[in-house]
Amino acid sequence: MIAPTSEPTRDDAALLPEPFAGWFLSRGWTPRPHQLDLLAHARSGRSALLIAPTGAGKTLAGFLPSLIDLAAEKKRRNALSREGPHTLYISPLKALAVDIARNLEAPVAEMGLPVSVETRTGDTPVNRRQRQKRVPPDILLTTPEQVALLLADRQAERFFSELKVVIFDELHALVTSKRGDLLALGLAGLRRHAPALRTVGLSATVADPNGLRAWLVPQEDPGEPRLSEVVQVAGGARPDIRIITAEDRIPWAGHSARWALPAVYEAIKAHGTTLVFVNTRSQAEMLFHELWRINEDTLPIALHHGSLDRTQRRKVEAAMAENRLRAVVCTSTLDLGIDWGDVDLVIHVGAPKGASRLAQRIGRANHRFDEPSQAILVPANRFEVLECRAALDANYIGAQDTPPIRDGALDVLAQHVLGAACAAPFDADELHREVTTAFPYRAVDRATFDKVIGFVATGGYALRAYERFAKIRQMPDGRWRLAHPSVGQRYRMNVGTIVEAPLVKIRLVGRGKAGLLSGRGRVLGEIEEYFIETMSPGDSFMFSGQVLRFEAMREQEVLVTKARDDTPKIPVYAGGKFPLSTYLADGVRGLLADEASWERLPDQVREWLSVQRLRSVLPTRGELLVETFPRANRHYMVAYPFEGRLAHQTLGMLLTRRLERFGAKPMGFVASDYALGIWALEDMGALFSGGRLPVDALFEEDLLGDDLDAWLAESYLLKRTFRACAVVSHLIERRHPGKEKTGRQVTVSTDLIYDVLREHEPDHLLMRATWDDAAAGLLDIHRLGEMLSRIRGRIVHKRLERVSPLAVPILLDIGKESVGGEADESILADAGEALIEEAMR
């Protein structure tokens, strides 16, 4: 956690009393400037954000003031039991809390500090949780959900009365999600009980530190935000990153990175321990499988992703900690700073999708701050080569691109309001004031807040049907109280904001002599139900490193056997989950436009771009290139906005609607992270040049108006989002006392609820929450809007005789990917015979 530094920076002995100073000395350490800075801020009671790269001793810096304070406090009043913790530490991962507890043990033991440290997560046994309420530790390490639960407790006021410090670890990862919203509201609630509390945010480097700084302190009005102090640690040693080189041809498209496998294997062989990061679970499966095929030295290579059975994951983690593994192929489940073992090399397969992510992952290669991390990037196709190159440049200049903190979600606010009522009756004015001190909720007006209260009480419908059964009621003095204790019980069972897709267990079984499936076997892990639903018995797929044959569904379990074939029949690809960051998109555009920078690209890629310039054109950094060309009886249009798949998908939906209206007869489209391809029966190039639909008019910003609304109303995307909002807001409860319900078994499908609500009360609070969510997360509408305004008047249309080199990758994607939702009717049409023929009068 701490590394030696060479230069003593300031003479601040007063900040570091004994036994701390002695302890530092005994280890040959000098306190780092940022550690002393944090101590100084703490001493004057100021909240602070610490921005530091991995390995900079962030965690100890965060805890040091609390440890010093507690040691002094213990001297003053020994053995007095406390009402509640002095310091709360909140991390996004349960495992991280446990890990930190272990790391704190050493300094506490070595200095003989009378400080108790305990964790409290969803895994903590009930009796220990009960005990923690009676005999609280000095420092409690926990998760956002536990904070919400503790706040909703009737003893909350007493329990938090002695709270002095709240430390948020990996704050940059927390704040951009609904969990972050819940936590922001929780922090506002903690301040109610401990108005003087001070916060410490620990974060990796971010694009906009001010968002995090504002998040940490109470806000007063929606105007200029108040900010915490900030302590910034310069980056450690520059990581040593390179793009992999291999003999094989770099593929035009695809995500397998198979071409580079031998080189990846050689790299693993040449290093002690390697982490191989990929973007999706299926990529992890595929790569793991392929590596073992060429693993002639039978190196211990393991697989780790979130869907694997927990015991299996724990095994891998333990083996890793003991340095028994040479490589682990893993997904983002290992992104955050859990500290295990010595990692010598990080290999990143596929595009890094955002420089922050890349920086974080590379940070894993070395928790020794002052030594350079070793990393190799493995692009899976040519566009990814460009993206990797841009990411590399980004990492060198330290550019960071975490998304800005957006307005707090209303479904989360509803959950929080119910939680507030669980603790004690609340006054709406007071709670509203408190909520608006939370940075993401600073702009929530009173009318909206009242709507939220109405929603919590009876669903908030214009038709007042449910008053008799309200969850919370107004008392004569105007305060709101819980209508019945059972409401509190159900709140506690359903707290949280993580809504997973319904999962089913995968059980590996054998076949008996008669060919019958045996009912018993090992559980390999869990997989999304929707994935299984696309399969028929006999189909093979890849999971937990093996090719499996789908046999049957039995009581919510998938029974599989080992498949004989080596290649799975169902190719699983769920890539592009993370949009290309704005920064990288710009970097890639810059790279294309600047020929001088091509020398840093592999020969094949350079040649590809040269031919593109010859056959078509390469756009300048600010331009949007649109190509049209015929091919095999169809007409194509390919645009290269580099705005990420989500934005392109939305753009594709909207453009095809407009093209349809102008008679281009579009047949379909495909979106990648880099480009958008549309094919049609009519020549779109002629349409653009003929002046009937100038290309500028096609991309006009009003695209985001009525067309968007009309399309969205029908879209499965909104239904899926609505489901999440319904669950988070507790309109639908996943768990009921006495029975564990899975997401699937909600008795009324949320799709049906959505349809009815949209038709009869389209401006209901949940519809608003759904729209906000979808616009930001799923559709990237904001980004699309910025793009449309950026390219206005700067669209370059090129009519070609045939496909251009740049267009090849997107054309290769056609057929591999279908656009969700829209295809439903066509599947039905394929499967059956229509019984109604429509006729026009």
Separation of first and last alpha carbons in the chain:
77
Residue 820 interacting with another protein (CB under 8 A): yes
Residue 662 interacting with another protein (CB under 8 A): yes
Q: For the beta carbon of residue 31, count every other beta carbon within 10 angstroms.
A: 25
Q: For the beta carbon of residue 823, count every other beta carbon within 10 angstroms.
A: 14
Residue 823 interacting with another protein (CB under 8 A): yes
Residue 732 interacting with another protein (CB under 8 A): yes
- By C-beta, is 242 or 744 nearer to another protein? 744
User: Look-up: residue for tokens 């994951």?
Assistant: 313
| Closest distance of CB 501 from another protein, Å | 14
Residue 90 CB-half CA count within 13 A: 30
- By C-beta, is 11 or 759 nearer to another protein? 759
| Closest distance of CB 831 from another protein, Å | 4
- By C-beta, is 172 or 635 nearer to another protein? 635
Interface residue with another protein, options 663, 702, 790, 792 (CB under 8 A): 663
- By C-beta, is 668 or 805 nearer to another protein? 668
819 phi and psi angles, rounded to 5 deg: -85, 125
| Closest distance of CB 568 from another protein, Å | 13
**Amino acid making up residue 85:** P
Coil, strand or helix at 426:
strand
The stretch near another protein (CB under 8 A) out of 390-398, 496-504, 659-667, 769-777 is: 659-667
User: Number of residues in contact with another protein, rule: CB under 8 A?
Assistant: 58
Determine the Cα–Cα distance for residues 86 and 60; give it in Å rounded to an integer: 16
Q: Give per-residue burial for 77-101: e unless 16+ CB within 10 Å, then b.
A: eeeeebebbbbbbbbbbbbbbbbbb
- By C-beta, is 315 or 735 nearer to another protein? 735
| Closest distance of CB 572 from another protein, Å | 10
- By C-beta, is 459 or 576 nearer to another protein? 459
Determine the Cα–Cα distance for residues 760 and 290; give it in Å rounded to an integer: 53
- Find out whether 320 and 293 touch, Cβ atoms under 8 Å: no
Residue 552 interacting with another protein (CB under 8 A): no
Return the closest-CA partner of residue 64 out of 92, 24, 11, 102: 24
Interface residue with another protein, options 733, 812, 813, 814 (CB under 8 A): 733
Residue 18 interacting with another protein (CB under 8 A): no
Q: Which residues pair with 670 in a beta bridge?
A: 677
Interface residue with another protein, options 410, 731, 775, 806 (CB under 8 A): 731
Site track for another protein across 425-464, x = CB under 8 A:
---------------------------------xx-x-x-
Subset of 304-323 contacting another protein (CB under 8 A): none
Residue 574 interacting with another protein (CB under 8 A): no
Return the closest-CA partner of residue 735 out of 489, 423, 392, 528: 489
289 phi and psi angles, rounded to 5 deg: -60, -50
Pairing state between β 87-90 and 557-562: unpaired
Residue 833 interacting with another protein (CB under 8 A): yes
| Closest distance of CB 485 from another protein, Å | 12
Residues 6+ away with beta carbon under 8 Å from 828? none
- Find out whether 684 and 706 touch, Cβ atoms under 8 Å: no
- Find out whether 288 and 416 touch, Cβ atoms under 8 Å: no
Residue 834 interacting with another protein (CB under 8 A): yes
Residue 824 interacting with another protein (CB under 8 A): yes
- By C-beta, is 382 or 720 nearer to another protein? 720
Residue 831 interacting with another protein (CB under 8 A): yes
User: Look-up: residue for tokens 């530190």?
Assistant: 209
Site track for another protein across 457-496, x = CB under 8 A:
-xx-x-x-xx-xxxx-----------xx--x--x------
Interface residue with another protein, options 26, 232, 604, 826 (CB under 8 A): 826
Calculate the dihedral angle through the C-alpha atoms of 403, 407, 410, 411, rounding to the nearest 10 degrees. 10
Residue 632 interacting with another protein (CB under 8 A): no
Which pairs count as long-range contacts for 256-264, CB under 8 Å and 24+ apart, including other chains?
Answer: 256/283, 256/286, 256/290, 256/380, 257/283, 257/287, 257/349, 257/350, 257/378, 257/379, 257/380, 258/290, 260/378, 261/287, 261/290, 261/291, 261/294, 262/294, 263/378, 264/291, 264/347, 264/349, 264/376, 264/378
| Closest distance of CB 774 from another protein, Å | 19
Return the closest-CA partner of residue 386 out of 600, 239, 596, 573: 600
| Closest distance of CB 529 from another protein, Å | 11
| Closest distance of CB 661 from another protein, Å | 7
Residue 397 interacting with another protein (CB under 8 A): no
Determine which helix (DSSP H) or strand (DSSP E) holds 543, and give its type and residue range. Answer: strand 540-543
| Closest distance of CB 536 from another protein, Å | 5
- By C-beta, is 404 or 820 nearer to another protein? 820
Subset of 744-803 contacting another protein (CB under 8 A): 747-749, 752-753, 755-757, 759-761, 764
- By C-beta, is 198 or 471 nearer to another protein? 471
- Find out whether 211 and 404 touch, Cβ atoms under 8 Å: yes
- By C-beta, is 248 or 702 nearer to another protein? 702
Residue 11 interacting with another protein (CB under 8 A): no
Return the closest-CA partner of residue 147 out of 438, 448, 473: 438
Interface residue with another protein, options 75, 77, 249, 841 (CB under 8 A): 841
Q: In what order do the strands lie in the sheet with 795-799?
A: 666-671, 676-680, 634-639, 624-631, 795-799
- By C-beta, is 324 or 736 nearer to another protein? 736
- Find out whether 69 and 200 touch, Cβ atoms under 8 Å: no
Residue 739 interacting with another protein (CB under 8 A): no
Residue 329 interacting with another protein (CB under 8 A): no
- By C-beta, is 617 or 697 nearer to another protein? 697
Subset of 179-238 contacting another protein (CB under 8 A): none
| Closest distance of CB 691 from another protein, Å | 14
The stretch near another protein (CB under 8 A) out of 391-399, 558-566, 618-626, 823-831 is: 823-831
User: Look-up: residue for tokens 């620990």?
Assistant: 202
Determine the Cα–Cα distance for residues 75 and 505; give it in Å rounded to an integer: 53
- By C-beta, is 50 or 757 nearer to another protein? 757
Mind spelling out the 3-state secondary structure of 29-96?
Answer: CCCCHHHHHHHHHHHCCCCEEEECCCCCCHHHHHHHHHHHHHHHHHHHCCCCCCCCCCEEEECCCHHH
The stretch near another protein (CB under 8 A) out of 28-36, 191-199, 781-789, 832-840 is: 832-840
Residue 456's alpha-carbon distances to 342, 449, 469, 783, in angstroms, are 49, 11, 11, 33
The stretch near another protein (CB under 8 A) out of 69-77, 389-397, 526-534, 770-778 is: 526-534
Determine the Cα–Cα distance for residues 175 and 503; give it in Å rounded to an integer: 26
| Closest distance of CB 563 from another protein, Å | 19
- Find out whether 114 and 86 touch, Cβ atoms under 8 Å: no
- By C-beta, is 173 or 757 nearer to another protein? 757
Residue 45 interacting with another protein (CB under 8 A): no
Residue 661 interacting with another protein (CB under 8 A): yes
- Positive or negative, the CA dihedral 401, 402, 408, 410 is positive
- By C-beta, is 12 or 761 nearer to another protein? 761
The stretch near another protein (CB under 8 A) out of 53-61, 337-345, 784-792, 828-836 is: 828-836
Which positions lie near another protein, rule CB under 8 A?
458-459, 461, 463, 465-466, 468-471, 483-484, 487, 490, 530, 533-536, 661-663, 731-733, 747-749, 752-753, 755-757, 759-761, 764, 818, 820, 823-841
